[in-house]
Amino acid sequence: MQTLPAYLNGQDFPVSDTYDNIDPSTGRSLGPVARCGPEQVDAAVAAARAAQRSWRLTSPETRARLLTRIADLIERDAEILARLESEDTGKPLSQARADATVCARYFRFYGHAIDAYYGLAIPLEPDLHAYTRREPFGVTGHIVAWNYPMQLMARAVAPAIATGNCAVVKPADETPRTAIALARLATEAGLPAGVLGVVPGIGAEAGAALAAHEDVDHIGFVGSTEIGSLIAHAAADRVVPAVLELGGKSAQIVFPDADLEVAATFLTKAILQNAGQTCSAGSRLLVHTSVHDEVISRVAARFAEVGIGPGLADKDLGPLVSRKQQARVAAFLDGLTQGEIVVGGSAPDEESLREGAYFAPTLVDGVDPRSEIAQREIFGPVLVATAFDTEDEAVALANGTEYALLGAIWTRDLSRAHRLAADIHAGQIYVNTYGAGGGVELPFGGFKKSGYGREKGYEALDAYTQTKTVIVRL
């Protein structure tokens, strides 16, 4: 097995220290990975700073052409990328293929968007010409989570480089391979050396060095609220902006007039996609007492039919990303004293799955909304259910955690839907559907401890630029 290198200044960059990349489906190594530290982060940031002097002066047309070329190459190599992603994360191959498609879409979307991204003229007086310019920050750092490596890297890097920044990426230590593959494709597309660098390694080493680097002008992070707080402190110490997309405990509220068949289908997908390892997973079910038993029965039946297996086998549900994550999920359910485990609750019994980090689809009913399992992000295929009687009670339950990333309302009453969409604290609200983060075009981010700043859509272009106002007396 060849060692996966870092990628600096447009080429592979060998690093002597390494660590093993573990396949969560089997528990065996996929090969050694470069273990970058402050020295390699320094080199990547220096290369980005040198490249940014000319990259910021390139025309939007030039950047647009390069980004769309990167999208073309991602689509060309989509199957290769999907297999790497499936092996690294354990997710079913079909889900990894969808991730590759969305990854290409990010580069294509921002390649098209940058052509129409302008400042504003501000009318003041006849003899004053006032206008704004949107200018890049310079060097942007991106610390990417392990649950959607391709998508998360693309949604951060594409708008950053589209607006004239140069980017340094620290992929999650569990899932480094597609980040290097994407950087190589960017060079093949013609992206100048230094505009995009990748420094794989351990978060406490490479990630911490990138977040605290004095020459990084903007930092983005996707991951846990606890680590996000550390990143925010590092950014605040240097007085640079940060975009944080953190944890979630998103509620799906089901009213009696909802289409329960459709709702049950989406409730199942929203928690089992990527084995529940999604910040925007629909992990809390709030269901009206009059339809509680029916909804629980429908969801439990769907959970019981789920096929489990290695990512490349493309079953309904793959393993969690690691044994460590498997143990964390199990700890929430071991010794549960309140609530009934309707289905699941442990690792599957099949002999063929024992070497992997699998966990069965789990539904827990009758959960106290103040309990740990209802308040904390589990990050596994675990759905917790609580009944409610009134609309006000549903809103209070939905808003009753420290997180505020997504929410969903299932009802045919559109007046109720709009009322609740305004009352629920969350960055995105779905009505009679659920998209776990939504499309490339939709601004995405949270309130409260789910983070701040917005990625995706046109708002991401604002996030990676700063406004300069120019006033000229004519």
d(CA 102, CA 440): 8
Bridge partner residues of 140 (DSSP) = 167, 218
Nearest to 162 by CA among 118, 112, 120, 199: 112
Amino acid identity at 417: A
Place of tokens 């199957």: 79
CB of 404 closer than 8 Å to CB of 279: no
d(CA 222, CA 228): 8
Three-class SS of residue 148?
A: coil
CB of 6 closer than 8 Å to CB of 188: no
Amino acid identity at 461: L
Amino acid identity at 155: R
How far from the centroid of its chain's Cα atoms is residue 380's Cα? Answer: 15
- Record the tokens describing residue 78, joined without a space: 């989509």
Bridge partner residues of 340 (DSSP) = 365
- Has 245 been annotated as catalytic? yes
Class of residue 370 by CB neighbours under 10 A (exposed 0-12, middle 13-18, buried 19+): exposed
Catalytic residue among 245, 377, 402, 455: 245
Q: Which residues are catalytic?
A: 245
